Chain A
């Protein structure tokens, strides 16, 4: 039997790796992928707690997270393509029209 805390540790580690990627990487697509990684880590937490408590509500949450991730990917990738078409770059440091 693997204790629940090990699953939660794995989820925490993955979440922090995703966060590291978001903060460190400059390519918008890779940043986006790291966000997906963070969402997945949260899913693992939900499922671990669902198993811990013997309650399937966590599965429902994970289901909704997956659905939201799909919606987010559709919009986000459309934005990425639009930005690349108008700017010619995906470097998040160079995309700064909204700054000031």
Chain B
């Protein structure tokens, strides 16, 4: 039992619990806060996978920007309790739950086939793995075109958001 194992199971259990809270809470604000907690625990597992740059980006973008936007919308629309959330069991809901469970069973079956531990890396390689410098270098050399495409996508998203916000639907 080393620290990595303990931390992994702690993060995993907490992430699953808070993800359950996202689905189960009745008020949207509790869902949003549980989701923020999930993102933090997931960032923890990212660090265990030596992806600390992605972990920081996760906190920066997901927790710091996207979820704040969600919170802002919830507060702006003043969504207190779940409006019209009918708690009755419908055919669609049961089917949805069954679909989710069977998908999990299928995925678990596939995933258990992935054997073995992570590849061992040399010290120099390990020191560079997951750093901002390494990520940036790969991004700006091999993946330059997709990177530019994503920047275009963000631009389109900004324009689209402005148009949608101004238009009357």
Q: Does a CB–CB distance below 8 Å link A and B in the complex? A: yes
Secondary structure of the B contact surface, majority rule: helix
Cα A71 to Cα B164 in complex, Å, equals: 14
Of listed A32, A57, A73, residue having the most chain B CB within 10 A: A73
Q: Is the CB of B23 within 8 A of A20?
A: yes
Query: Does the CB pair B8–A2 fall under 8 Å?
Result: yes
The answer to whether B49 touches A37 (Cβ under 8 A) is no
* Cβ–Cβ contact B23 & A21, under 8 A: yes
Which residue of A17, A36, A80 contacts B62 across the interface (Cβ within 8 Å)?
A36
Interface of A is mostly: helix
Residues of chain B within 8 A (CB-CB) of A68 are 150, 153
Bound Cα distance A58, B65 (Å):
23
Closest 10 CB pairs of A and B: A23-B96, A71-B157, A12-B107, A20-B100, A16-B104, A8-B111, A78-B164, A54-B119, A78-B161, A21-B23
Query: What are 25 A-B contacts defined by CB distance under 8 Å?
Result: A5-B113, A6-B8, A7-B8, A10-B12, A10-B15, A14-B16, A16-B101, A16-B103, A23-B96, A27-B79, A33-B22, A36-B66, A40-B39, A51-B51, A56-B129, A59-B51, A60-B135, A60-B139, A63-B54, A64-B146, A69-B62, A73-B66, A82-B167, A90-B77, A91-B84
